[in-house]
């Protein structure tokens, strides 16, 4: 698959020394790519470069081979953007605003707009200034998707949405992915990334720390077994077995297994096991490792 969105050594240093440094990644055609990072990491700054709003200090970003800064107008024709902070014409109702945007784009057919309003249960006759944060977010999402663009750039799309609407959003992304759309979205929610994205990039303090394939990552997740043994004799067998484990309580241990279950099963068959539970390590635990300082 060819790369549709390309970010190459993108650097933007603000006068206060903050910003992004040497950010590089690409999003392939038809891919959903997640952009994760803690507050202030540089997600919005990167996405705003892709929209051509900002002059980079160095490096470049392109979509469909077009430079994001120089060809912004051309790129934006077939692109849906949801900004992190949405500014609306507050005095309009939801439907007036969406119709206004449709007309600006030269669209006469409002079918897709209406379908999206139904999907997100938007109270479209309410004035935007009287809407809650979540309602405004729905208006922003509908505006980003309603002209059926090939590329979507979404800055924290589920911010303010309740769990039901977050689920509707995930379903929409899956539908759009199946229709071949290319989507780049920033998020704080691992679950959302887990359910929608093929790959995810993590940015921290202005720099990309890793780009991971979600399926490969999940396939490689170790399994944790919490085992309660009957007595000290069993503990002795475990200690002498060469297995790697973490002691949780005097008779409770956690054993992490990646591929080979045999050594654990052979050792435990010599012990009296009182209780045993197993759970896969979550994607969230893996990502939290990248968020922290330990990967420096
Ligand atoms: N116009 C600006 N002038 C000065 N500093 C800025 C400007 N815009 C952003 N920054 C700084 O650049 C860094 C990256 O900010 P950015 O908004 O891109 O982060 P983010 O990852 O989107 O964060 P959040 O999750 O909180 O939205 C922050 O330290 C921010 O304070």
- Which mutation among 12, 37, 44 tests ligand 1's pocket best, with the greatest number of atoms within 8 A of CB? 44
> In the structure, what pLDDT confidence band is assigned to residue 281 with cuts at 50, 70 and 90?
low
Residue 19 near ligand 1, beta carbon < 6 Å: yes
The pLDDT value recorded for residue 225 is 94
Residue 202 near ligand 1, beta carbon < 6 Å: no
> In the structure, what pLDDT confidence band is assigned to residue 292 with cuts at 50, 70 and 90?
low
Residue 18 near ligand 1, beta carbon < 6 Å: yes
Residue 54 near ligand 1, beta carbon < 6 Å: no
Residue 204 near ligand 1, beta carbon < 6 Å: no
Q: What is the ipTM of this complex?
A: 0.95
Domains delineated in the chain: 3-78+149-218 (3.40.50.300), 222-280 (3.30.70)
- For residues 204 and 36, the answer to whether their CB atoms sit within 8 Å is no
- Please give the distance, rounded to the nearest whole angstrom, from the Cα atom of residue 207 to the centre of ligand 1: 13
Residue 39 near ligand 1, beta carbon < 6 Å: yes
Average pLDDT taken over every residue of the chain: 91
- Which mutation among 10, 38, 40 tests ligand 1's pocket best, with the greatest number of atoms within 8 A of CB? 40
Residue 43 near ligand 1, beta carbon < 6 Å: yes
Q: What are the tens digits of pLDDT across the range 235-250?
A: 999 999 989 899 999 9
Closest-CA residue, ligand 1 atom 17, reads 44
Q: In angstroms, rounded to a whole number, what is the distance separating the alpha carbons of residues 26 and 46? A: 12
Classify residue 212 by burial, with Cβ atoms within 10 Å: 0-12, 13-18, 19+.
buried
- Please give the distance, rounded to the nearest whole angstrom, from the Cα atom of residue 54 to the centre of ligand 1: 13
Helix (H, G, I), strand (E, B) or coil at 194: helix
The residue that leads in pLDDT, 179 or 190, is 179
- For residues 123 and 87, the answer to whether their CB atoms sit within 8 Å is no
- List the end-to-end C-alpha distance of the chain, in Å, as a whole number: 32
Q: What are the tens digits of pLDDT across the range 260-277?
A: 899 999 999 999 999 999
Residue 48 near ligand 1, beta carbon < 6 Å: no
Q: In angstroms, rounded to a whole number, what is the distance separating the alpha carbons of residues 27 and 2? A: 9
Closest-CA residue, ligand 1 atom 14, reads 42
Highest mean pLDDT among 20-34, 179-193, 246-260: 20-34
Residue 37 near ligand 1, beta carbon < 6 Å: yes
Q: In angstroms, rounded to a whole number, what is the distance separating the alpha carbons of residues 261 and 289? A: 25
Atom of ligand 1 nearest to the CA of 48: 18
| pLDDT mean over 251-261 | 90
């Amino acid at each position: 698959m060819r790369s549709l969105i390309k970010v190459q050594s993108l650097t933007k240093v603000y006068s206060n020394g903050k910003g992004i440094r040497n950010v590089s990644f690409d999003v392939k055609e038809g891919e959903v790519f997640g952009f994760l990072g803690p507050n202030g990491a540089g997600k919005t700054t990167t996405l705003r470069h892709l929209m051509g709003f900002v002059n980079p200090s160095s490096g470049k970003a392109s979509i469909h081979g077009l430079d994001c800064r120089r060809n912004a107008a051309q790129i934006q024709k077939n692109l849906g953007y949801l900004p992190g902070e949405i500014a609306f014409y507050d005095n309009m109702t939801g439907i007036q605003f969406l119709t206004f945007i449709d007309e600006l784009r030269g669209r006469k057919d409002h079918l897709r707009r209406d379908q999206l309003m139904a999907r997100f249960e938007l109270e479209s006759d309410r004035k935007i200034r009287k809407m809650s944060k979540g309602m405004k977010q729905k208006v922003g999402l509908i505006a980003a998707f309603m002209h059926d663009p090939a590329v979507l750039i979404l800055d924290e799309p589920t911010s303010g949405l309740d769990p039901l609407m977050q689920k509707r959003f995930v379903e929409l992304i899956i539908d759009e992915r199946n229709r071949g759309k290319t989507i780049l979205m920033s998020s704080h929610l691992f679950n959302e990334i887990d359910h929608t994205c093929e790959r995810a990039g993590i940015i921290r303090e202005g720099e990309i720390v890793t780009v991971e394939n979600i399926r490969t990552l999940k396939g490689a997740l170790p399994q944790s077994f919490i085992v309660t043994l009957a007595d000290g004799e069993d503990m002795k067998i475990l200690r002498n077995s060469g297995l790697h484990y973490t002691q949780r309580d005097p008779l409770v241990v956690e054993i992490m297994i990646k591929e080979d279950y045999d050594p654990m099963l052979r050792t435990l068959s010599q012990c009296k096991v009182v209780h045993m539970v197993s759970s896969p390590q979550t994607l969230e635990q893996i990502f939290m490792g990248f968020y922290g300082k330990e990967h420096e």
